[in-house]
Amino acid sequence: MQNKKTWTLNVAGRDLTIETGWWAKQANGAVTVSYGETQVMGTAVMSKGMGFARSYFPLMVEYEEKYYAAGKIKGSRFIKREGRPSDEAVLTGRVVDRTIRPLFNGRMRNDVQVTVSAQSFDGENDPDILSVIAASSALSISDIPWNGPVAAVRVGIIDGEIVINPVKSDLEKSSLNLVLAGTKDMINMVEAGAQEVSDEDIIRAFEAGQKVIAQIAQFIEKIKEEIGKQKAEPFLMQLDENFDSLIREKSLSMGLSDALYGTKSEIKEKTSTVKEEVKQVVLDEIGENVPETFDDVFELVFDEVADDIVHENILKFNKRPDGRKLDEIRKITCEAGVLARPHGSAVFTRGETQVLNVTTLGAPGDHQIIDTMEVDTKKHYIHHYNFPAYCVGEVRPNRGPGRREIGHGALAEKALVPVLPSRDDFPYTILLVSEVMESNGSSSMASVCSSTLSLMNAGVPIKRPVSGIAMGMITSKDGSEFKTLSDIQGAEDHYGDMDLKVAGSEKGITALQMDVKLDGVTIEMLSNAIKQANAGRAHILSKMLEVVPEVSSELSKYAPRIISMKIDPEKIRDVIGKGGETINKIIEETGASIDIEDDGSVFITTPDGESGEKAKQWIINLTKSVEVGDVYTGKVVRIMDFGAFVEFLPGQDGLVHISELKHERVGKVTDVVKIGDEVKVKVIEIDSKGRINLSMKTLIEKKSEKEINNQKDLEKELGL
């Protein structure tokens, strides 16, 4: 380890340590980053020359979480090798990707792979922000061309105070969980969940986080200056300047400026026509010696020209591709209860973006078990987001959810968590599925809106409705001027410089996510976008409430019914029985689904109320303490000479002595009862050994002497 080098910076009272020179030495750059007892390793590798992709920059970012980092073994009994990454690992990988990608040259075509591996996890310091720092450090000291460094920080708000890098136990008390990343001067990635936090508090958190990011970025810069390699020459997808100028000139003169305005389909059709015409003219001017990379460079330059046109028209003339004002929201229509059998459903349409959301209510036992390196818990609210090819008029195989789908689903899920009812008030497992039917900008925020409507339609008592909006930004090349756009559509996302998604209720923000296509944005820019988003969210919410003004007063008739009750935890074993015999019998005879938690909470889920009440009474009987004077209806299970044993509670019986069968003298027990008879009994004694004595006669009105004599005369007359 003689080549090992170590640097340390104190961040929020703990040492952030970066080491290099001892592991993964064949990578272009490799570091380990430690904070507390959490440690990650970041590596960066680049191919020589052009990689596998011609039409885009082939950057691969992988985040690997290993169970051994937390001292755990994968839970599956049959497969112990870790394979497919968890959703949490995918989301961390996306955070790293979204932070480092904007700082690469967009024309670069070398394969670049950044891998971050969690090696040690202390349960308190989350590896996600360390992963950004590790990727940034590995790229910075490597010979890979990159315009970093960047850094990341987590910001919380506890009791109104800003807390930098709160540990996991403190996050439970925090109203904000904000992951912020960027350069020493600007923010370029935001990911946040919040408990309806105000705009002002969010901006305070941005300002506090940016200061720490600057410290860490400068720390990495010093390491780079000390040991960083000289940057290699990348393979860039370009020809000479004359070629670029020719494409630019012909694109402008042949109508590209006009083609970029209209509806999505109009823009697509017109730009496609102009592109083919320009391409042919350029080919005619080039002649026979057409470069091998002509098609790819042409596409790249043509797109850059379109980007410049959109930027100029918005910055100079406030002219958006569809003609809207900068803060104008597209037409919104909503409809709830669109599907007959699901428990709740709604469609939210904004412009050419449309999302169907479906709510399914299940038993508490329908929860999802989350077993990862970081957490081992049960999830009772789940949100799935699907983005099929038809929603953008494309053809492609369906291979299941990718990173984008997982990320958008997690964002929509995060947006609604703060307004969901507590499990005490609403013990159902809730599954929301957002199906994108049509997309032209911000289907994730349309998912938030349709989810709110769907939950309200299903009768889920949410605290407040939530709406969401996607904000864009156009900046000048020197960053001196910017314009903020409300409710961006696809073209503005593609050509714009920022995509900021803001979700929240009338009370405050519940979720944030931001990506950029430039080095970053300033606090001023972010503050402006957050404030403008507030008005947009309010407008969208008003349109939603016109259609669904309040939560449905009743659950769907097709939704299961849940009865909640509490029992003494010491009695849980009585309900379950030996080997689950008792609880299985209840389930079999009532058709109920029964979930019992360690604290004695019992949830009985049934398709109808009657069977649920039957199961409830059964459990009450099982767990009730028997007292003298209680009356039960039971079944005769055993007969002896001296009396009958009656099972009056499941698994619990007592003796009715022969003298307690009737007021009159009884010769034989079988003269009064037989095995299987259903009888009413009263508890008259519980002896010192816990044995229970019952009586039937005390529940029978004693006959007078005259009635007894009349009965005897009648029996004598009948020869009985």
* Domain ranges within the chain, ordered by starting residue: 5-227, 241-317, 332-547, 561-623, 631-717
CATH superfamily for 332-547 is GHMP Kinase, N-terminal domain (3.30.230.70)
Least reliable range by pLDDT among 152-166, 528-542, 616-630: 616-630
In this prediction, residues 675-691 reach a mean pLDDT of: 91
pLDDT tier at 167 (50, 70, 90 boundaries)?
very high
Specify the CATH number of the domain 561-623.
Answer: 3.30.1370.10
pLDDT tier at 94 (50, 70, 90 boundaries)?
very high
The pLDDT, as a whole number, for residue 135 is 98
Span 271-321, pLDDT tens digits: 999 999 999 999 998 887 888 889 999 999 999 999 999 999 999 999 999
- Residue 575, C-beta contacts closer than 8 angstroms, at least 6 positions apart: 567, 582, 583, 586, 594, 596, 602, 619, 622, 623
- Give yes or no for residue 701 having a pLDDT over 90: no
Q: Which residue has the tokens 């309806």?
A: 196
- Residue 445, C-beta contacts closer than 8 angstroms, at least 6 positions apart: 467, 468, 469, 470, 501, 503
CA distances from 266 to 201, 320, 440 (A): 42, 14, 13
Least reliable range by pLDDT among 72-76, 130-134, 139-143: 72-76
Q: In whole angstroms, how large is the CA radius of gyration of the chain?
A: 35
* Strands, sheet with 29-35, edge to edge from the N-terminal-most edge strand: 5-11, 14-20, 29-35, 38-46, 112-120, 59-65
Domains 561-623 and 631-717 share a fold: no
3-state secondary structure 311-342: HHHHHHHCCCCCCCCCCCCCCEEEEECCCCCC
Mean pLDDT is highest, among 258-267, 454-463, 685-694, for: 454-463
564-601 burial, b at 16+ Cβ within 10 Å, e below that, comes to: eeebeeeebebbbbeeeebbeebeeebebbbbbeeebb
pLDDT tier at 85 (50, 70, 90 boundaries)?
confident
The pLDDT, as a whole number, for residue 715 is 57
The pLDDT, as a whole number, for residue 551 is 96
The pLDDT, as a whole number, for residue 434 is 97
Residue 11 CA to residue 150 CA, distance in Å, equals: 15
The pLDDT, as a whole number, for residue 240 is 84
The pLDDT, as a whole number, for residue 82 is 80
pLDDT tier at 391 (50, 70, 90 boundaries)?
very high
Q: Which CATH class is domain 5-227?
A: alpha beta
Q: Is 27 in contact with 43 (CB distance < 8 Å)?
A: yes
pLDDT tier at 114 (50, 70, 90 boundaries)?
very high
Mean pLDDT is highest, among 188-202, 255-269, 623-637, for: 188-202
Q: What are phi and psi of 512, to 5 degrees?
A: -140, 150
In this prediction, residues 398-416 reach a mean pLDDT of: 93
Residue 426 CA to residue 432 CA, distance in Å, equals: 16
The pLDDT, as a whole number, for residue 625 is 80
- Give yes or no for residue 83 having a pLDDT over 90: no
3-state secondary structure 12-62: CCEEEEEEECCCCCCCCEEEEEEECCEEEEEEEEECCCCCCCCCCCCEEEE
- Give yes or no for residue 710 having a pLDDT over 70: no
Least reliable range by pLDDT among 52-56, 89-93, 139-143, 451-455: 52-56
- Give yes or no for residue 648 having a pLDDT over 70: yes
pLDDT tier at 716 (50, 70, 90 boundaries)?
low
In this prediction, residues 3-16 reach a mean pLDDT of: 95
Q: Is 333 in contact with 349 (CB distance < 8 Å)?
A: yes
- Give yes or no for residue 717 having a pLDDT over 90: no
> Does 688 or 465 have the greater pLDDT score?
465
Q: Please determine, looking at this structure, whether the domain spanning 631-717 carries the CATH number 3.30.110.30.
A: no
The pLDDT, as a whole number, for residue 96 is 98
Residue 595 CA to residue 119 CA, distance in Å, equals: 37
The pLDDT, as a whole number, for residue 69 is 87
Least reliable range by pLDDT among 327-336, 486-495, 585-594: 585-594
Span 173-198, pLDDT tens digits: 999 999 999 999 999 999 999 999 99
Q: Is 39 in contact with 116 (CB distance < 8 Å)?
A: no
The pLDDT, as a whole number, for residue 664 is 87
The pLDDT, as a whole number, for residue 693 is 95
